[in-house]
């Protein structure tokens, strides 16, 4: 299998073939994750650093589990427990890690571009686990895996991404990833939560009217409002936001019978999603996305680090 990437930083650097290779490898890895003993020796002896300088539940826990299941050694590191609080620079921190002869750095950082800078100062592979409001490529890949499992084909699939588009790093990777795979993307949200020039997103359609587009969509991907990245209030109240942009039980009649509901998490219940929709037994695939996080992150590490084919199924 030809997979020639060293880093996973910008999804635009990946072709449809690269993305399908990751999804198909993840599918192969699903079998390991169903076993009682969920461990293979594929990356034994390699060292992966999880550098999380911002909070995370899903991304961090799924990377840590993926590393354990592939038998590599993990170093968990980052945030206020590091010497960055004493003034050490990101580059000096990376040079320090390099001295340990590490093989991969998985980085989440509030600064857009931090993973790229790190990649210029380390011989290790670098994976972007979310940088500022720029990109979150491993989230996009788990989202694609989930959609592929349920819809089987991306060509012409109509995907709507709803909410705080302007502050979302998920959008920064998911929109191009869906376009690379042939889907049609509509972004929906108030103008105050859109970028100043929404055409830079690369979506096919941009609209503030959720109810107009909901009947067309095969996948409804809801986003939370990124309050940690907001200055001022870009909507009159959460109640009004929920009335206009919340995916609520009252809106279900507008949806296609087989339309899926996705959300990257964490959910703010009662704001962008009510519990009826978040927990909908037929439509919601939010926990499938969480499971896909382990599979796709195992696949990404395996492909980027060139793990042995034998070790994949042993």
Least Å from the CB of residue 154 to ligand CP:
21
Minimum Å distance from CB 230 to ligand CP? 17
Distance of alpha carbon 114 from its chain centroid, rounded? Answer: 17
CB 26 within 8 A of CB 149: no
The residue among 277 and 312 lying less far from ligand CP, judged by its C-beta, is 277
How far apart are CB 174 and ligand CP at their closest, in Å? 11
Give 169 or 184: the residue with its C-beta nearer to ligand CP: 169
CB-nearer residue toward ligand CP: 42 or 74: 74
69 or 297: CB nearest ligand CP: 297
Closest CB 240 distance from ligand CP, rounded Å = 26
Residue 40 or residue 49: which is nearer to ligand CP going by CB? 49
158 - beta bridge partners?
Answer: 184
The total number of residues written for the chain in this structure: 314
Whose Cβ is closer to ligand CP: residue 123's or residue 266's? 266
Distance, in Å, from the CA atom of 63 to the CA atom of 42, rounded to the nearest integer, reads 15
| Footprint of ligand CP (CB under 6 A) | 56-60, 130, 139, 264-266
Contact 126, 115 (CB under 8 A): yes
Q: How far apart are CA 94 and CA 122, in angstroms?
A: 7
Q: What is the 3-state secondary structure (H, E, C) of 202-239?
A: CCCEEECCHHHHHHHCCEEEECCCCHHHCCCCCCCCHH
What is the Cα gyration radius of the chain? Answer: 19
Between 202 and 265, CB nearer to ligand CP: 265
Q: C-beta of 81: minimal distance to ligand CP in Å?
A: 18
> What is the nearest approach in angstroms of ligand CP to the Cβ of residue 62?
8
Tokens of 211: 């109810």
Name, in order, each residue with C-beta under 8 angstroms of 271's C-beta and a sequence gap of 6 or more: 224, 225, 238, 241, 242, 246
Cis omega (within 30 of 0) for bond into 12: no
Compute the least distance from the CB of residue 134 to ligand CP, in Å. 13
Q: Toward ligand CP, which CB reaches closer, 55 or 306?
A: 55
CB of 298 to ligand CP, least distance (A): 16
- Residue 297 to residues 35, 103, 136, 197, 201, Cα–Cα distance (Å): 18, 15, 12, 32, 25
Q: How far is CA 143 from CA 173, 178, 291, in A?
A: 10, 9, 10
């Amino acid at each position: 299998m030809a997979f020639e990437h060293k880093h996973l930083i910008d999804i635009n650097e990946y072709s449809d073939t690269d993305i399908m290779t990751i999804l198909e490898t993840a599918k192969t890895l699903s079998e390991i994750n169903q076993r009682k003993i969920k461990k293979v020796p594929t990356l034994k002896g390699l060292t992966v650093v999880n550098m999380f300088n911002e909070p995370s539940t899903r991304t961090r826990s799924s990377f840590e589990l993926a590393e354990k299941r592939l038998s590599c050694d993990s170093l968990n590191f980052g945030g206020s427990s590091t010497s960055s609080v004493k003034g050490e620079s990101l580059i000096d921190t990376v040079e320090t890690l390099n001295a340990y002869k590490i093989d991969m750095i998985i980085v989440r950082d509030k600064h857009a571009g931090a993973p790229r800078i790190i990649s210029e100062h380390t011989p290790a592979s670098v994976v972007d686990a979310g940088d500022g409001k720029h990109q979150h490529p491993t989230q996009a890949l788990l989202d694609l895996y989930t959609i592929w499992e349920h819809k089987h084909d991306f060509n012409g699939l109509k995907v709507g991404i709803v909410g705080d588009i302007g502050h979302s790093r998920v959008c920064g990777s998911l929109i191009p990833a869906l376009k690379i795979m042939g889907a049609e993307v509509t972004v929906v949200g108030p103008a105050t939560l859109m970028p100043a020039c929404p055409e830079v997103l690369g979506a096919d359609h941009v609209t503030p009217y959720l109810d107009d587009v909901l009947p067309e969509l095969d996948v409804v991907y809801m986003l939370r409002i990124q309050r940690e990245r907001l200055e001022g209030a870009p909507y009159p109240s959460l109640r009004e936001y929920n009335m206009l942009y919340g995916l609520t039980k009252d809106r279900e009649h507008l949806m296609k019978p087989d339309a899926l509901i996705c959300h990257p998490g964490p959910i703010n219940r009662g704001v962008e999603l009510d519990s009826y929709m978040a927990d909908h037994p037929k439509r919601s695939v939010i926990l499938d996305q969480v499971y896909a996080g382990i599979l796709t992150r195992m696949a990404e590490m395996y492909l980027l680090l060139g793990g042995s084919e034998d070790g994949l199924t042993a």
